[in-house]
Amino acid sequence: MHPDADLEQLMAAYQKGDSAAAAALIERVSPRLHRFFLVQAVSRRDADDLLQETWLRIHQARHTYRPGEPVLPWLYAIARHIRVDHYRKARRTALREQQVEVLPEAPASIMGSTAGGRTDRGPDLEALLGALPESQREVIAMLKVSGMSLEEVARATSSSVGSVKQKAHRAYEKLRGLLRDGATA
């Protein structure tokens, strides 16, 4: 029996109208989903909003879950769609607003500044992950932050296991390079 089998039981009970099961499912999975959104380089407020939107969409689509199937890939697929919708909406809004102001220069190093007192704490994880392409950051968030298996990530992202492995490998290589370059700077 795999570790998330009880989540599947909670989801099946939630489908049948068990409000206690719904509350337990929300309590167990919300921290994982929230971290997933935070790692995707959104603000805490946006992550809160995305989490709420995800649970609303899960509630509306709960009838589509097939009991006996892994629940985490199903939940993360919904969360991923919510995040993509949010990203697209934000891009459309930004393109319409076209600010005239001069944008501040990017920081000299993604490793963090000395003004913030971060030098003795090591690299800034959010900055490192922010340097990855979105698809790689998403895979790393699901694998390492949420603890999902390769198969679960593949199912959640509508990808093959090989594609997930490739994205993870490329992300690890880029992160190693960033850490190596930051250590010598």
Domains of the chain: 1-103 (1.10.1740.10), 111-185 (1.10.10.10)
CA distances from 92 to 65, 87, 88, 89, 95 (A): 31, 9, 6, 5, 5
**Burial (CB count <10 Å: 0-12, 13-18, 19+), residue 131:** middle
Tens-place pLDDT, residues 90-144: 777 766 655 544 444 544 444 444 444 444 566 677 778 888 888 888 888 888 8
Q: d(Cα 98, Cα 6) in Å, to the nearest integer? A: 48
54: pLDDT confidence band, cut at 50, 70 and 90?
Answer: very high
User: How high is the pLDDT of residue 85?
Assistant: 86
pTM, two decimals, is: 0.58
Q: d(Cα 81, Cα 77) in Å, to the nearest integer? A: 6
- What's at 2, amino acid-wise? H
